[in-house]
Amino acid sequence: MTTVVDTEFPAPAGVRSGAFGNATHLICRACGATSPLGPFYACMECFGPLEVGYAYPTVTRAQIEAGPKSIWRYQPLLPVPADIATFRSTDPGFTRLVDARQLADELGLKQLWVKDDSGNPTHSFKDRVVAVALSAARELGLQVLACPSTGNLANAVAAAAARAGIRSVVFIPSDLEPQKITASAIYDTTLIAIEGNYDDVNKLASEIAGEEEGWAFVNVNVRPYYAEGSKTLAFEIAEQLGWRLPDQIVVPVASGSQLTKIDKGIGELIKLGLVEDKPVKIFGAQATGCSPVAQAYRAGHDVVAPVKPSTIAKSLAIGNPADGPYVLDAVRRTGGVVADVGDDVVVDNIRRLARTEGIFAETAGGVTIGVTAKLIADGVLDPAAETVVINSGEGLKTLDAVSGLVGPRVTLPPHYDAFTDFWTTNA
């Protein structure tokens, strides 16, 4: 077991000792400057994005395995206190890692696993990141949990705040579909509809985050903590494989944070001796209608030019992804790529995953399976290598993407004879 000790920082003012577990400071991903833990997200030196740094103690597999059946079993590797499991949260994580043999056979892969995050409390991977953001908000004394969102994030914030008994405010575009409004409003969140598009909503949220006291915008001013939640995907995959790493992982890319934190999580597992060191190629998946990172990858660029999204994969439709450059770095460093598929392919692959594995994914899952299939066909993914794909959300949330395409095989009168006539030719 390795002990990694970073520079020492004092606990933030007004915050209890151990509030952030083994996390000790924030560090700028651009210039490397460090700052104390707090509700900060931009480097005071260069305005670069901050992430959480740790002084890791010894962590053993047995210690983790004795923990709760949720992301809190990885508490020593997250910016949350040792008593985190005693607080009310939705306790996300420890979702199924599905041995996808039928899908693997169809794609010509030797061994494929689907990490199915539709099993989380509000049925997307956002429950992981929001749970960590909620802990940071509580420890920092912030009273309102908030976000701009059109879907999964809104559900996760509203549910987590309800469970924790704190106030939440969710900002949405006023023309959002009624079903999506219901799935967040049900948690009695303060839902504020903004006359404008998602960019307008986002801009307003950032302004509020900058001006108001006591607000935790999960993906703005507590973003460094929030983002750490995605590491638990890597931790769970490794533990569920029997404490070892796969050869290849295909990850959907919206802001890019999920991919970069999976990469970070793998690095931590290796550094702490929890798994054997081995190369893991990381691949990013986007929808063609919002593929700024895939375009930058193909062009050989290190930075990402913003695009205007137009895709049915709305949970991935971030035109100016904050982690874009770090995604490019991670995939190039590990030997992966970032690729994209069109909306038709997305729909086909939602259907393919349901047909072969009985898993109904939202559009983002169709993107990830679609890109996996494309990369195999193109000879980029190694079909003999053990592969994991992430399904980040639930098909019941994006029914419109497939309704009209699937339906009854036949409509019959309610008589046995009518059935036998049909079945004789369709058995």
Interacting residue with its own copies among 133, 145, 160, 254 (CB under 8 A): 160
Contact between 358 and its own copies (CB under 8 A)?
yes
Residue keyed to tokens 């509809």: 193
Q: How far is the CB of 338 from its own copies (least distance, A)?
A: 28
Complex with its own copies: residue 93 or 292, whichever CB lies closer: 93
Complex with its own copies: residue 176 or 337, whichever CB lies closer: 176
Complex with its own copies: residue 17 or 426, whichever CB lies closer: 426
Contact between 145 and its own copies (CB under 8 A)?
no
Please report, to the nearest 10 degrees, the dihedral formed by the alpha carbons of residues 188, 189, 193, 198 taken in order: -130
Interacting residue with its own copies among 14, 82, 110, 203 (CB under 8 A): 203
Contact between 425 and its own copies (CB under 8 A)?
no
Q: What is the DSSP annotation of 358-372?
A: S--B-HHHHHHHHHH
Contact between 174 and its own copies (CB under 8 A)?
yes
CB 253 within 8 A of CB 327: yes
Contact between 161 and its own copies (CB under 8 A)?
yes
Interacting residue with its own copies among 242, 300, 415, 424 (CB under 8 A): 415
Q: How far is the CB of 216 from its own copies (least distance, A)?
A: 15
Task: State whether residue 37 is helix, strand or coil.
Answer: coil
Binding mask 311-350 for its own copies (x = CB under 8 A): ---------------------------------------x
Contact between 181 and its own copies (CB under 8 A)?
yes
Contact between 121 and its own copies (CB under 8 A)?
yes
Contact between 376 and its own copies (CB under 8 A)?
no
Q: How far is the CB of 188 from its own copies (least distance, A)?
A: 4
Stretch that binds its own copies, among 9-17, 247-255, 336-344, 353-361 (CB under 8 A): 353-361
Complex with its own copies: residue 60 or 143, whichever CB lies closer: 143
Please give the C-alpha separations between residue 86 and each of 81, 120, 167, 339, in angstroms, as whole numbers: 10, 19, 20, 42
Contact between 44 and its own copies (CB under 8 A)?
no
- Angle among Cα 353, 159, 169 to the nearest 5 degrees reads 120
Complex with its own copies: residue 42 or 204, whichever CB lies closer: 204
Question: Which segments within 18-133 are labelled E, that is strand?
Answer: 23-28, 34-35, 50-54, 97-99, 112-116
Contact between 179 and its own copies (CB under 8 A)?
yes
Interacting residue with its own copies among 187, 217, 283, 297 (CB under 8 A): 187
**Of residues 209-228, those binding its own copies (CB under 8 A):** 211-212
Complex with its own copies: residue 205 or 388, whichever CB lies closer: 205
104, containing H or E segment:
helix 101-107
**What contacts 24+ positions apart, CB below 8 Å, involve 56-61?**
56/2, 56/3, 56/4, 56/5, 56/22, 56/268, 56/271, 56/272, 57/3, 57/22, 58/1, 58/2, 58/3, 58/272, 59/1, 59/272, 59/274, 60/1, 60/274, 61/239, 61/243, 61/274
**Of residues 49-108, those binding its own copies (CB under 8 A):** 69, 88, 90-91, 94, 96, 98, 101-102
Q: How far is the CB of 8 from its own copies (least distance, A)?
A: 37
CB 363 within 8 A of CB 342: no
Complex with its own copies: residue 119 or 324, whichever CB lies closer: 119
Task: State whether residue 113 is helix, strand or coil.
Answer: strand
Contact between 183 and its own copies (CB under 8 A)?
yes
What the block records as the tokens of 12 is 């933030």
**Of residues 262-321, those binding its own copies (CB under 8 A):** none
Q: How far is the CB of 253 from its own copies (least distance, A)?
A: 24
Q: Under 8 Å CB-to-CB from 21, ≥6 apart: which residues?
A: 75, 76, 78, 79, 80, 81, 82, 84
Q: How far is the CB of 423 from its own copies (least distance, A)?
A: 8
Please give the C-alpha separations between residue 409 and each of 15, 402, 406, 412, in angstroms, as whole numbers: 61, 16, 9, 10
Complex with its own copies: residue 208 or 341, whichever CB lies closer: 208
**387 burial via Cβ count (<10 Å: 0-12, 13-18, 19+):** buried
Complex with its own copies: residue 22 or 155, whichever CB lies closer: 155
For residue 60, count other CB atoms closer than 10 A to its CB. Answer: 13
**270 burial via Cβ count (<10 Å: 0-12, 13-18, 19+):** middle
